[in-house]
Each structure stands twice: as structure tokens, then as C-alpha cells.
A and B are shown apart, each in its own frame.
Chain A
């Protein structure tokens, strides 16, 4: 009798404790786990959003393999990622190095460099879209960039930056870098500040110059932090989408589309839900692989 009462009270206790996670768990199951399952499930069907669902096995995936536009969009995202990895991260690292010393207005710089990252992609995209406006009125350029180029004596550089298929993607990548470098800057600066200043002193005593100190002290110690920044950059840049919506909308479909654009248009424009899900599965799988490899690299780097 006594033990039974005890068991009941333990059960009651466990149940009470479980109630604490119940709200989180139910939201998580409904809005994360179920869509996750449904996404994989739908990718085996031909479905127009309403009406009958036809099971077609791996057909969506087979079609995806030969889909020109899809792999093209992957290349576009890869190109933006490449620019973000090189140009954006180099800039972030250079700025972090410049700020990692006793310097006036250090706080000002730190505050200002993180303003673009807190703005939304829509706001950033629409502002730049306006600055890059290619139009002319009364013999004057409307967009500030073209006006500036013209007024400062480079009329040959005036260009329809977002309208020309050759420059549109690069322009988007640069605006993406403008918006994103603040993240890398803050993280890298925090990393630089954890480096023991005595190491620099020791290197100086050993007769190392500025360059040697950088390659032999700063770089090896910063490697794990740089890997973290690289993971964040890759994941962020591969999924770029909203910025493109805001900057070119659907003006240059075949030149500026990225994987998320493809998924979106398969679903919204052609109503091919199954195909959109197959794209989402492949894309998600690729991102997981990339972040897994990078994570392994960074764990190894941390172990030294």
C-alpha cells in the first residue's frame, strides 16, 4: 500500500515535471518535426497543392538531377558564397585587426560596423536598389552611384548595375557582403581580444617582425574562430533570398536565381509542391553536409 502510494507520487511528480516542457515540445513537434517529415514525404509525390496526390517514387529527384535551372541557381549561390568568403571575410578580418589595439573611436567603429547586420534584407535591398537606380532625368543620373561616378569624372563607369545580367549577381554579392561583414568583424575582434598580449611581447623579444608575428602567432590562434565565421558565412550566403527579392524581384530570373528562389517559384508559380519539396530536401542535405564537415574541421583545430 505504502509503496503503491509512493509510486503514484513519483508518477505524479514526473508528470508535473513533464508539463514544463510540454508547451515547447508540442510547438516543436507541430511546427518543426511534422513539416520535416512532411517535406521528405511530399518529395515522393506529384501534387499540385490541391486534388489527388500521385506517388511517383524518386521521379522528382531524377528530374532534379537534370534540371538546368536548379544547378544554375546552385552555382549562383555558390558564387555569392565565394565572394562572401573571400572579400567579405577578408574585409572583416582586416577591420578586426585594425580595431584590436589602443585606438581612438574604437567603440564608435564597433557600433557602426554592426548597423548593416541589424537592418532587414528588405530594407537593405530597397535602399541599394534606389542608390543603384540606372535611370536618367533632365540629363542627370537618378541613382546616386551613377551620379557619383559621372560627377567625379568616370562617365565610362556609369552602368545599369542590376539590370545587366553580367553585373547583377556580383552587385548583389557585394551588397550581401556589405550587410554581412559586421558579423565576422564582431566575432573575429572578440577572438583577437582573447589572445594573450604576452605572446606578442614574447614574439617581439624573440626578434619576430610584424609579419612573422602575424603568421606565427595571430593566424594559428585565430584559426578556430575563423572556421566558425566561415561556417556562418557559408550557411548564410547559400540561403540568400530576400535580398534578391528586394533588389531585382523577378527581373532577371535566369541570372540571379538561387536555390531558395527556385523552391519558392516551384511552389508559388507552378504549384509543384512535390518538386519543391525534393529541391528543399537536396538543398537541406547539402547544407547539413557542409556544416558537418566544417564542424569536424573546427573541432580538430580546437584540439590543436
Chain B
């Protein structure tokens, strides 16, 4: 009798937990589903047809957004910015982290703590001064200027992460490479970089998400439609066509899907990256 009662209690408890978790999972997924659903409707049906699966599917919104809504340009720009910034961050931060970990020069510790301090101090309003500076340097409204600014955003964090990784690299590896005739650059490229692959994976993923989703600097620095990334383009499009919801939803889908796919394929690294940094 007793065991039965406990089994029953255990079962209702686990059902309740599942209902709770499932409810939240649905709340997370529904808006994304709704976005895709509305992207597949036409301007005539989107306001009146509230069926979960629409009666008529319409794929032309994606083409409209891509060609007439300039999303081809926005998408290409986002790809260019993400690739350039992430490559830049990986190379520049790994060079610096390698020097901080393995090489000696005067002022090394001071410079390193400068980067650490920068990570601790949130600077929500420095974009005002950055905007002034970029205009003075004639880098406002250029791809190059935006890329440099975004490299700076990810730099401190990546240097810190890579330095802790390089510190763990065994000295024998380095010595062996030196005997084989590798210079400092050779050791960095042939030994340190492959050794730090897990850390580099984390850096690549988080910075890709960050650059792809960035909005504030893109708004401040890029006025030319030809230079705008997706996030900025979406707001511009919405401002110009505030009632064309199906095409807007098609644009949102194009901005969201790549990031969701990257997330799903890299999901393990992301969880490891977050929990490793905070807990472990």
C-alpha cells in the first residue's frame, strides 16, 4: 500500500515537472514558429487568418525581402562583418595572449591588467565619444571602421580566456618545437593555436553571435544602406514598410535562422563555455 502511494506521488510530481518544463519550452518556441508562419502568408491573409497552420502558403515574401527589401545586401554585409571581426579577434587576441603567457618584455603585467580592468568596467555610454572619434578619423560610415570597433569589443574577453589556456600548455611542447627550429611565430601557430582549439571554438561562437546580433554601433557608424548589417536593415525596413508584416517576418526569419542553426550545431561548446567560465 505504502509503496503504491509513494509511486503515485512520485508520478504526479514528475508529471507536474514535465508539464512545467514543456510549457516553458513551448513559450520559447512559439514566437519563432509564429514568425515563420507569418512569413509564409500574404498581406491579405495575415491579418485575418488566425489558424495555427495557414490555409494558403506563400513563399514569395522571401524573394520580395531578398530583392526589393535589400536583404541580400544586409545579409551579405552581416556575413562579411562576422567573418572579418571573428578572424581578427582570433588572430590578434591569440598573439597577445601568447605573449602574455609565454614571452617577456617590460610592462607586460601592466598591459595585461589594463585588458582585465577593461573587462570589469562596463562602458554603456562610451559610444558617444567613439562616434566623435570615428568621424575625426574619417572611419565613420566605412566597413573598416565598424570592423575595428567590433574587434575591440571582443578583445579583452578573448585574451583572458586564451591566456589561461596557454598557461596550461606544457613547456616540453614548446621546447621540442624550439629544437626543431621553430621561431616564436612558429611556436604560436604550430603549437599554441592547435593546443587552444577548444578555447578558440568558444571565442568564435560567442563573438559570431555578438557581431551578428550587434545593433548600437551599426546604427551610429553606418548610415549608408549598402553598408548596413541585418539588424540595422530590419529596423530601417520596418520604419519604411510598417504594415508589410509578412515581408518583415521573412526578413526576421533570415536574420534568426542562421544563428539558430549555428547554435544548434555548436550547442555543446556554448553550454561548456558559459558554465566553465562561471562555475568551474
Task: Tell me, in angstroms, the Cα distance from A172 to B126 when the chains sit together.
Answer: 25
Asked whether B29 is an interface residue with its Cβ less than 8 Å from the other chain, the reply is yes
A111 → chain B closest CB, angstroms: 6
Q: Which residues of chain B from 224 to 280 have any CB-CB distance to chain A below 8 Å in the complex?
A: 231, 234-235, 238-239, 245, 248-249, 252, 255-256, 259-260, 263-264, 267, 270-271, 274-275, 278-280
Which of B123, B125, B278 interacts with A279 by CB under 8 Å?
B125
Does A200 touch B at the CB level, under 8 Å? no
- A276 and B128 within 8 A (CB): yes
Q: Mark A14-31, 1 if CB is under 8 A from B, else 0.
A: 111110110111011011
For the complex formed, measure the closest distance between the CB of B158 and the CB atoms of chain A, giving whole angstroms.
9
A153 to B28, CA, bound (A): 24
Are A95 and B21 also in contact (CB < 8 A) when A28-B155, A190-B278, A284-B125 are?
Answer: yes
Q: Give the complex CA separation of A249 and B114 in angstroms.
A: 37
A-B contact count (CB 8 A): 260
For the complex, is A219 an interface residue (Cβ under 8 Å from B)?
no
Is A140 touching B184 in the complex (CB atoms < 8 A)? no
Q: Does B57 contact A (CB under 8 A)?
A: no
Which of B47, B124, B131 has the largest count of A CB atoms less than 10 A from its CB? B124
Q: In the complex the two chains form, is A130's CB within 8 Å of B118's CB?
A: no
A259 to B255 CA separation, bound complex (whole angstroms) = 27
CB B94 to nearest CB in A, in angstroms, measures 9
| Bound CA–CA A124/B252 (angstroms) | 9
Q: Are A17 and B34 in contact (CB under 8 A)?
A: no
Interface of A is mostly: helix
User: Which residue of A is nearest B13, CB measured?
Assistant: A210
Cβ-based interface call for B190 (8 A) = no
Contacts of B24 in A (CB 8 A): 91, 95, 109, 113
Cα of A291 to Cα of B14 in the assembled complex, Å: 38
Q: Is A112 an interface residue (CB 8 A)?
A: yes
Decide: A186 and B274 in contact? CB cutoff 8 A.
Answer: yes
B93, closest chain A residue (CB) = A24
Asked if A138 CB lies within 8 Å of chain B CBs, one says yes
Pairwise interchain contact A241-B216, C-beta atoms closer than 8 A: yes
Residue B95 is within 8 A (CB to CB) of chain A in the complex: yes
A235 neighbours in B (Cβ, 8 Å)? 122
B6 at the interface (CB under 8 A from A): no
A194 to B278, CA, bound (A): 12
A126: B residues at CB distance < 8 A: 234, 238, 248, 252
Which of A25, A122, A135, A239 touches B124 (beta carbons < 8 Å)? A239
One of B58-66, B102-110, B169-177, B195-203 contacting the partner: B102-110
Determine which of A109, A239, A277, A288 lies in contact with B129 in the assembled complex, contact meaning CB atoms within 8 Å: A277
Q: Please name the residue on chain A nearest to B145 by beta carbon.
A: A31
- Whether A283 contacts B125 in the complex (CB less than 8 A), given A115-B260, A127-B31, A140-B48, comes out as yes
Residue of A nearest to B46 (CB): A142
Contact A110 B271 (CB under 8 A): yes
Contact of A112 among B28, B156, B256 (CB under 8 A): B28
A130-B249, A279-B125 known; A113 vs B104 contact (CB < 8 Å): no
Are A21 and B215 in contact, with the CB atoms below 8 A?
A: no
Q: A275–B234 Cα gap in the complex (Å)?
A: 30
Contact of B95 with A16 in the complex, beta carbons under 8 Å? no
Q: How many residues of B contact A (CB 8 A)?
A: 85
Q: B residues within 8 A CB of A78? A: none
Given A110-B271, A242-B216, A276-B128, A18 contacting B105 (CB threshold 8 A): yes
Alpha-carbon distance between A34 and B152 when the two chains are bound, in angstroms = 12
Q: Cβ of B25 < 8 Å from any Cβ of A? A: yes
| Cα(A31)–Cα(B134), bound, Å | 9
Count of residues in A whose CB is under 8 Å from the partner chain: 94
Q: Are B128 and A20 in touch, CB under 8 angstroms?
A: no
| Chain B positions within 8 Å of A115 at CB level | 28-29, 32, 260, 263
With A130-B245, A284-B125 already in contact, the answer to whether A35 and B130 are too (CB < 8 A) is: yes
A280 to chain B: closest residue by CB: B125
Bound state CA distance, A171 and B124, in angstroms?
23
Q: Is the CB of A288 within 8 A of B184?
A: no
> A193-234: which residues lie under 8 A (CB-CB) from chain B?
194, 225, 228
Which residues of A are interface residues toward B (Cβ below 8 A)?
14-18, 20-21, 23-25, 27-28, 30-36, 38-39, 42, 49, 91, 94-95, 98-99, 103-105, 108-116, 118-124, 126-128, 130-131, 135, 137-138, 140, 142, 144, 147, 151, 178, 182-183, 186-187, 189-191, 194, 225, 228, 235, 238-239, 241-242, 245-246, 249, 259-260, 263, 267, 273, 276-277, 279-281, 283-284, 287-288, 291
Give 4 new A-B contacts, CB below 8 A, not counting A36-B129, A113-B24, A291-B120. A105-B21, A119-B259, A190-B279, A284-B125
What 6 pairs between A and B have smallest CB-CB spacing?
A: A280-B125, A190-B275, A120-B213, A20-B99, A24-B96, A31-B152
Residues of B near any A CB (own CB < 8 A): 14, 17-18, 20-21, 24-25, 27-29, 31-32, 34-35, 38, 47-48, 50, 92-93, 95-96, 98-100, 103-106, 108, 111, 114-115, 118, 120-133, 148-149, 151-152, 155-156, 159, 184, 188, 209, 212-213, 215-216, 231, 234-235, 238-239, 245, 248-249, 252, 255-256, 259-260, 263-264, 267, 270-271, 274-275, 278-280
Q: Would you list 11 pairs from A and B whose C-beta atoms are within 8 A, ordered by A residue?
A: A20-B99, A28-B152, A28-B155, A36-B129, A103-B17, A110-B271, A119-B259, A126-B248, A191-B275, A246-B235, A267-B128
